[in-house]
Amino acid sequence: MTEAIQTTPAAALRAHSPAVSAARARRWGAFYYAEQVLRVMKGYGWTIVMYGVGQPVAYLFAMGVGLATLVDTGSTAAFGGVSYLAFIAPALLVSAAVMTAANEFTFPVMDGFKWRRVYYGPHASPLTPEQIAAGQIIAVTVRFVLQSAIYFGVVALFGASPSGWGWVSILVATLAGLAFGLPLMAYAATVKDDRGQFAMVMRFIVMPLFLFSGTFFPLDTLPLAVRWIGWISPIWHGTELGRVFSYGYEEAPLLTVVHIVFLLGLAVAGWVLTRRLFAKRMAS
């Protein structure tokens, strides 16, 4: 004879009232939208890993291991007294974040406004345009941090970050990505028809910055005709800052402050413009 199993009824699930849901959306809306963007990213996670980490690692191996064998081993003084591999590793870390920014803050923004109009669904809720913009930025920042951390782990395995402060280059790369990406996001919010503008950005802005920002050789070894590109490049400012933390690159403290202020200034200016342009675009 089996004993009857007594069960208690589960508590009924109750939805929040519209007022409570609206209040939570107004308070945490940016994080709600960031969660949605991260869930979308999860669907192509391996592509993110291969592009965001695999590509710079391939550069690191080809340039730092392959080309390094052709660089005169007696010329380490030209690279701050460290190996060529240690010299280029911070540059590739920062460049990876900037290239990711060039992808995440262009076509996805266009998609949100024009193609699939994914911004307008959340905007029909209590979420504001500023929260939607902030949510996208938060999600992409998480991607910056994760891919930079993985890439830094590879750099550390190569022995290319001898300083104990090398991990700070993860934050530097994230800041450089935002310094380049947020002004670009503001521009993308103004684009109403795709006529190849973003392809032009990749070819005539991102690639020159990558090549002429002291990535592979010190900036002062480049001709004056192209050296100015590095001075206005988030990649150069981020790279120089990353080298300070990665292996104790010696530079004037004032110049280190200039790097930080330049990157922060670009990021803040881009954020302010993005907020205004998102609000203007969704109001029209």
pLDDT in tens, 150-195: 889 888 888 888 899 999 999 999 999 999 999 999 999 999 999 9
17, part of any domain: no
Query: Domain for residue 163, yes or no?
Result: yes
H helix intervals, 105-223: 107-110, 120-123, 129-157, 168-188, 197-201, 207-211
The model's confidence at residue 15, banded by pLDDT at 50, 70 and 90, is low
Of the two residues 272 and 25, the one the predictor is more confident about is: 272
Domain that holds residue 243: 29-283
CA dihedral 128, 134, 136, 142 (to 10 degrees): -150
Q: Does residue 186 form part of some domain?
A: yes
The confidence score (pLDDT) of residue 32 equals 93
- Answer yes or no: is pLDDT of 65 > 80: no
pLDDT averaged over the chain?
88
Model pLDDT for residues 71-88, shown as the tens digit of each residue: 655 565 667 778 888 898
Q: What is the pLDDT of residue 264?
A: 98
| Structural domain contains residue 13 | no
Of the candidate ranges 11-15, 19-23, 240-244, 274-278, the one whose mean pLDDT is the lowest? 11-15
pLDDT reported for residue 45: 82
244 in a domain, yes or no?
yes
Cβ 143 vs Cβ 234: under 8 Å = no
| Mean pLDDT in residue range 48-54 | 75
Token reading at 224: 């004056």
Inside any domain, residue 115: yes
Query: What is the pLDDT at residue 7?
Result: 55
pLDDT-based confidence at residue 1 (cuts at 50, 70, 90) = very low
Q: Which residues have a Cβ under 8 Å from the Cβ of 26 and sit 6 or more positions away?
A: 126, 128
Evaluate whether residue 24 is within a structural domain. no
Please give the pLDDT value at position 48.
78
Cβ contact 280:248 at 8 Å: no
The answer on pLDDT for 128 being more than 80 is yes
**Number of domains forming the structure of the chain:** 1
pLDDT for residue 140 is more than 70: yes
User: Lowest-confidence range among 7-16, 37-46, 111-120, 243-252?
Assistant: 7-16
The Cα–Cα gap between 118 and 168 comes to 35
Q: Is 78 exposed, middle or buried (0-12, 13-18, 19+ CB in 10 A)?
A: middle
Q: Based on C-alpha coordinates, what's the Rg of the chain?
A: 23
Does the reported pTM lie above 0.75? yes
Residues sharing a CB contact under 8 Å with residue 36, sequence separation 6 or more, in sequence order: 122, 135
What's residue 25's pLDDT? 72
* Residue from 169, 176, 174, 200 nearest 187 by CA: 200
What pLDDT, in 10s, does the model give residues 200-257?
A: 999 999 999 999 999 888 998 888 888 999 999 999 999 999 999 999 998 999 999 9
Asked if pLDDT for residue 273 goes beyond 90, the answer is: yes
Q: Tell me the C-alpha distance between 260 and 262, whole Å.
A: 5
At 119 the pLDDT is 96
Is the pLDDT confidence value at 9 over 60? no
**In this predicted structure, what is the pLDDT of residue 3?**
53
In a domain, 168, yes or no: yes
Q: Which residues, 6 or more positions from 251, have their beta carbon under 8 angstroms from its beta carbon?
A: 240, 244
Closest C-alpha to 160, from 150, 171, 152 = 152
The DSSP 8-state label assigned to residue 164 in this structure reads T
* Mean pLDDT value across residues 136-157: 93
Nearest to 246 by CA among 123, 64, 49, 21: 64
Residue 249 per-residue DSSP state: -
164 contacts 252 by C-beta, under 8 angstroms: no
User: What per-residue confidence (pLDDT) applies to 58?
Assistant: 82
Find the range with the poorest average confidence among 3-17, 26-40, 226-240: 3-17
